[in-house]
Amino acid sequence: MTTSTPLNPALTSWTGHEGLPRFDLVKDEDFAPAFDAAFREHEAEIDAIADNPAAPTFDNTIVALEIAGDALSRVSSIFWNKAGADTNETIQALEREIAPKMSRHYSKIGMNAALFKRIDTLWEGRQALGLDLEATRVLERHWKGFVKSGAKLAKPEQERLAAINEKLAGLGAKFGQNVLADEKSWVLFLDSEEQLAGLPDFLRDAMAAVAEDRGQKGKFAVTLSRSIIEPFLTFSDNRELREQAFRAWIARGENGGETDNRTLIAEMLTLRAEKAKLLGYENFASLKLDETMAKTPDAVNGLLMQVWEKAVARAREEEAELARLVAGEGRNHDVMPWDWRHYAEKLRAEKFSFSEGELKPYLQLEKIIEACFDVAKRLFGITATEKKGIAAYHPDVRVFEIKDASGKLVALFLGDYFARPSKRSGAWMSAFQSQHKLKLKNGTEGELPIIYNVCNFAKPAEGKPALLSLDDARTLFHEFGHALHGMLSNVTYPSVSGTGVSRDFVELPSQLYEHWLTVPEILKRYAVHYQTGEPMPEALLDKVLAARTFNSGFTTVEFTSSALVDMAYHTAEVTAEPMALEAKKLDEIGMPKSIVMRHRSPHFLHVFSGDGYSAGYYSYMWSEVLDADAFAAFEETGNAFDAAMAARLKDNIYSVGGSIDPEDAYKAFRGKLPSPDAMLAKKGLAA
């Protein structure tokens, strides 16, 4: 990278609405020099802390580390947002360069002997420091972070660990870019009624809008965006086209050529295993689980297999019912993965007398957003007001002010809801700025959380409303649950703010929030027909609620198989043929041939595009055990919005971040730790 380009102050000095970045003033070419300058500034700050002649104190070492690197944090948050939500070739090239450079930068900090000596001195003498619980947790997090960064290793091992981390960062960036490239490059244009048979109007409208965006006005596009491909597989009567689209969907990252991820997976697994051994762990899963609620691979696999056995048994029963429908149409083929959604929809209509197509007109994106905000107001007393005319990072992105019951501004929230070719698939929450109360070098005391949600719903044609599936609506609630975790945070230190918790606890606030979508009074108020404005008929609402566990064998098998393969990758002996290991594990657990993993390995972004969920995909289910039990606490009161229970939820879960141990946080809310029983009952898998 070059440093000859003048620095753009808009990247580090945020002067937009209530401290929002001025995205409109940032150009792609601004990032490279800004990163260079921010790396240098952070390095100087670290050297000043490490070389401070004064004896180490919590303030001159830990607090100083907490507020160091502000410029780097700001540049990074804008850049990684753009890399995920609105990328291009320039940004992707820089991402491949920045990811390893970022790793190298933090490896150097983690192996700074003088700095670790100060932290280690504080850690060893922590009993005499008079720290409160949150400060003690922050000290512990820094100390353990340095140890896992190789601070206690000899110099040669430190250098090897740094090289491994740098290489992994580059491979992770490439993995994600390959998946996005495969998603962008595949499209199937349809134009005859035979090809469109069975597709409802809402899907035809969405496909027509995508086709027009791709220069094929008058045609209908099937893409690999989940908001298009899943309803197409559900409603299309053309089995040949379903198979063609399905095979393309599951082959992302596995098409040969430059975007093939299979060799990257093998290399990443080898490097992760070596990293674990360097740090004294039996395998990478043991390293990743060390700071989680689950603690060990055995505990994870124990939960997963307990659920797997019930889920696969239920899926076999579901498959038999689908086979009955296939035979009833005079067909003699087995139920294959490209058939399942199609016949499950027919079975739903038979069992509950409604279809996804009948439900969708009642699930308008605007109304579901309103429902999200209303639930937050009822539970936590906050309100959301959209601020029009504020430039965000893309024209589709909306800006909201979040205020508490007294009218005080407590957060900014950005919603980015529609799919586009420049955005990676899936849905996520992140932050431009996290809440904390520390005094910064510029004199500011504390910072306002600036949180955003990214989704990939199909964008409707001009003048038409965006209609969601029930799964889409759950996704919106899920991600807003994460957003609330960031926006309601009330801690002192940035490193434990909001979602700064263990991986298998971070999904609790999001998955718990999903429950309020199907609270009857919420559906009655916000599930209104987009044409008539009439609420969802009581009979249809009853059917929706009765069908909540429908197809649960399928969905649980999809998820659990992915989680089991993830754990197998990170506990087994490393192989040069990761796809063989995937196949072996699926065969070992008895994966039905009619279902595939929710995320096959070559496009398993959670696990291989970075290591955030590596040996951690299970955490959705671990958190599901917690969220089912937590919502049961509200059900036991007879009121889904019980004020006392909501206050306990906010005070002990949503606002404390990582400032206390997650087990202690949960027990403070619920009084006990849960068993899997409530989760299994919620899925309809209880014995």
What's the pLDDT at 215?
Answer: 95
Q: Which SS3 state, helix, strand or coil, does residue 676 take?
A: coil
613-661, pLDDT tens digit by residue?
A: 999 999 999 999 999 999 999 999 999 999 999 999 999 999 999 999 9
Beta-sheet pairing, 383-386 with 220-222: unpaired
Q: What are the residues facing 439 on neighbouring strands? A: 445
CB neighbours of residue 521 within 10 Å: 12
What range does the domain containing 217 cover? 186-251
**CATH at 119:** 1.20.1050.40
Are the C-beta atoms of residues 535 and 527 closer than 8 Å to each other?
Answer: yes
Residue 84: its H or E element: helix 70-85
Same domain, 197 and 99: no
How many Cβ atoms are within 10 Å of 673's Cβ, its own excluded? 12
| Domain shared by 376 and 516, yes or no | yes
Which residue is catalytic, options 479, 507, 558, 624? 479
Alpha-carbon distances of 459 from 345, 454, 465, rounded to whole Å: 23, 13, 9
Residue 107 confidence (pLDDT) above 90: yes
Q: Does residue 687 have a pLDDT over 80? A: no
Cα separation, 618 vs 607, whole angstroms:
11
State the Cα–Cα distance between residues 113 and 93, nearest whole angstrom.
33
Give me the mean pLDDT over the 279-298 stretch. 96
pLDDT greater than 80 at residue 542 = yes
* Sequence-ordered list of residues with C-beta below 8 angstroms from that of 266, at least 6 positions apart, any chain: 574, 575, 576, 577, 578
- Residue where a domain stops, chosen among 518, 546, 574: 546
Query: Is residue 351, in this structure, part of any structural domain at all?
Result: no
Q: What is the pTM of this model?
A: 0.94
CB hemisphere CA count around 147 (13 angstroms)? 14
The confidence score (pLDDT) of residue 442 equals 84
Separation of first and last alpha carbons in the chain: 60
Per-residue 3-state assignment (H helix, E strand, C coil) for 255-291? CCHHHCCHHHHHHHHHHHHHHHHHCCCCCHHHHHHCC
β-strand pairing of 398-403 with 445-447: unpaired
Give buried/exposed letters for 586-612 (b at 16+ CB in 10 A, else e).
Answer: beebebbebbbbbbbbbbbbbbbbbbe
| Domain-located, residue 116 | yes
What are the tens digits of pLDDT across the range 502-539? 999 999 999 999 999 999 999 999 999 999 999 999 99
Residue partners of 432: CB distance under 8 A and separation at least 6: 20, 21, 74, 77, 78, 81, 450, 451, 452
In a domain, 344, yes or no: no
Per the listing, tokens 């959705």 go with 620
Average pLDDT value over all residues in the chain: 96
Claim to verify: residue 512 and residue 373 sit in the same structural domain = yes
- Residues 472 and 395 placed together within one structural domain of the fold: yes
Residues 396, 501, single domain; the answer is yes
| Dist CA 357 CA 284 (whole Å) | 44
pLDDT band per the 50, 70, 90 thresholds, residue 3 = very low
The predicted pLDDT at position 2 comes to: 43
What is the DSSP secondary structure assignment for residue 395, as one 8-state letter? T
Give the Cα separation of 653 and 127 in Å (integer): 27
Return the closest-CA partner of residue 335 out of 204, 222, 246: 246
In this structure, is residue 138 part of a structural domain?
A: yes
Residue 337 to residues 92, 99, 554, Cα–Cα distance (Å): 33, 36, 10
Last residue of a domain, one of 501, 527, 546: 546
Q: Is 479 noted as a catalytic residue in this protein? A: yes
415-430 pLDDT, tens digit per residue, is 999 999 999 999 999 9
Can you read off the two tokens belonging to residue 588? 């070992």
**Could you give the number of structural domains in the chain?**
3
| 337-395 residue pLDDT tens | 999 999 999 999 999 998 888 999 999 999 999 999 999 999 999 999 999 999 999 99
- Shared-domain flag, residues 531 and 420: yes
Q: Report how far residue 587's alpha carbon sits from residue 282's, in angstroms, rounded to the nearest whole number.
A: 25
Percent of the chain with pLDDT over 90: 95
pLDDT score for 574: 78
Strand-strand pairing, 445-447 and 436-439: antiparallel
Span 222-235, average pLDDT:
95
Q: Which of 45-49, 225-229, 276-280, 284-288 has the lowest mean pLDDT?
A: 225-229
Q: Is residue 624 part of a domain?
A: no
- Is residue 139 located within the same domain as residue 214? no
Residue 463: partners with Cβ closer than 8 Å, 6 or more residues away: none
**Within this chain, do residues 47 and 190 fall inside the same structural domain, yes or no?**
no
Nearest alpha carbon to residue 456 among 470, 475, 438, 443: 475
In a domain, 41, yes or no: yes
DSSP state of 10: G
At 661-679, the pLDDT tens digits run 999 999 999 999 999 999 9
209 and 88 within one domain: no
Whose CA is closest to 392, among 414, 423, 363? Answer: 414
Which run of H or E residues covers position 176? helix 155-185
For range 578-592, the mean pLDDT: 96
Residue 636: which residues within 8 A CB-CB, separation 6 or more? none
Long-range contacts of 577-583 (CB under 8 A, 24+ apart): 577/266, 578/262, 578/265, 578/266, 578/269, 579/254, 579/262
CATH number, position 461: 1.10.1370.40
| Within-domain flag for 560 | no
324 in a structural domain: no
CB atoms under 10 Å from CB of 398, counted, come to 15
Percent of the chain at pLDDT above 70? Answer: 99
What pLDDT is attached to residue 576? Answer: 74
Residues 365 and 221 grouped into a single domain: no
Task: For residues 195 and 122, state if they share a domain.
Answer: no
Whether residue 5 is predicted with pLDDT greater than 80 in this model: the reply is: no
Task: Check pLDDT > 80 for residue 575.
Answer: no
Among the three residues 517, 546, 575, which one is the final residue of a domain in this structure? Answer: 546
Cβ(544)–Cβ(354) under 8 Å?
yes
Same domain, 140 and 192: no
In sequence order, the 6+-apart residues with CB closer than 8 A to the CB of 618 are: 294, 300, 303, 304, 504, 563, 566, 567
